[in-house]
Amino acid sequence: MGDRSGTPIGDGAGTGLGDLLRSATQTLAGTGVPSPRADAEALLAHALGMPTAEVRRAALLGRGVGDRERAAYEQLVAQRAARVPLQHLTGEAHFRTLTLRVGPGVFVPRPETEVLVDLALAELAEPATYDRARPVVVDLCTGSGAIALAVAAEHPAAKVHAVELEEDAHAWAQANVTATGLPVDLRLGPAQQAFPDLVGAVDLVLSNPPYIPPGSVPVDPEVRDHDPAAALYGLGEDGLQVPLEVAARAAELLVGGGVLLMEHADVQGDDIVQRLRSTGHWAAVEDHPDLTGRPRVVRAVRARP
């Protein structure tokens, strides 16, 4: 690129990339966007159809962009300043090794859910329990398909099934199954009655269900205004209605000794452990901390009949 330094990207006289990024960063910081510089760079990369690293390099080399590209970029920055999620503007979210398609109508997968996938892979690597050639894994409440697709990508021997209630989210998951080409059996419907054909036959149930209590409306506009309500609120007084229903279905689906791994809010750690223990379905129930030490994933082992 050295011989093209100073050359504008696109048509017109060009605005310097460095100035454009500085101004966008200021605009985004001004409306409370948590990572304004990173978002400014990601949006410019998206607008120009270039990798972010190349945008940084082009800015350092003093290159400019043409008027059309600048206008498109400024429109994206204005939307991000209005707190439209970055992933809705770029149309993609990174989750473990995958780049998933996301947008309005589907929950944007979060980095903390990657911990649940780590725990799932550790379970599948445990030969004492998962000695079947093709362990059966189910993802209840799959959203974009993130958990199911990550397991299918990183443990190809697993036979992975996933279910989602909402038609819009299911359509995004279907797009991700198609785009990745990964073998996930995706279904539409309530997790509470999912997979009648797999009752008693599943080795590992994974879930990141909705779990926010009704009174705890998220502060971040990206979450509050753009993640679907069905993805956020777990219903009941404490947000645990859907998670407990999901766990009850998991108990029906799992083989004796099979494992449920389910994400929850940090404040729900003690409660969910107690409530799962009191069902009598589980031989062992414990909680796993996330990377910051907060309890975020419950692990329950199905009692043998």
List binding-site positions.
164, 208-211
At closest approach, how far in Å is the CB of 208 from ligand SAM? 3
Instruction: State the Cα–Cα distance between residues 173 and 162, nearest whole angstrom.
Output: 9
Nearer to ligand SAM by Cβ, of 131 and 197: the residue is 197
What is d(CA 32, CA 96) in angstroms, rounded to the nearest whole number?
Answer: 27
* Footprint on this chain of ligand SAM (rule: CB under 6 A): 107, 109, 113, 141-144, 146-147, 163-166, 169, 190-192, 208-210, 228, 230-231, 242
- Distance of closest approach, residue 162 Cβ to ligand SAM, in angstroms: 8
Known binding-site residues for substrate equal 208-211
Position closest to ligand SAM via CB: 143
Which of 166, 165, 161, 143 shows the shortest CA–CA distance to 199? 161
Find the shortest distance in angstroms from Cβ 193 to ligand SAM: 9
CB of 74 or CB of 168, closer to ligand SAM: 168
**In the complex, minimum distance from the CB of residue 35 to ligand SAM, in angstroms, rounded to a whole number:** 20
Closest CA to 120 of 144, 145, 139: 139
Considering beta carbons, is residue 191 or 261 the nearer one to ligand SAM? 191
Which residues contribute to the annotated binding site for S-adenosyl-L-methionine?
164, 208
Least distance (Å) from ligand SAM to the CB of residue 163? 6
Smallest gap from residue 169 Cβ to ligand SAM (A): 4
Give yes or no for a contact between 173 and 160, defined as CB atoms under 8 angstroms apart: no
Between residues 59 and 100, which has the closer beta carbon with respect to ligand SAM? 100
- Nearer CB in complex with ligand SAM: 9/169: 169
- Nearest residue (CB) to ligand SAM, 76 versus 146: 146
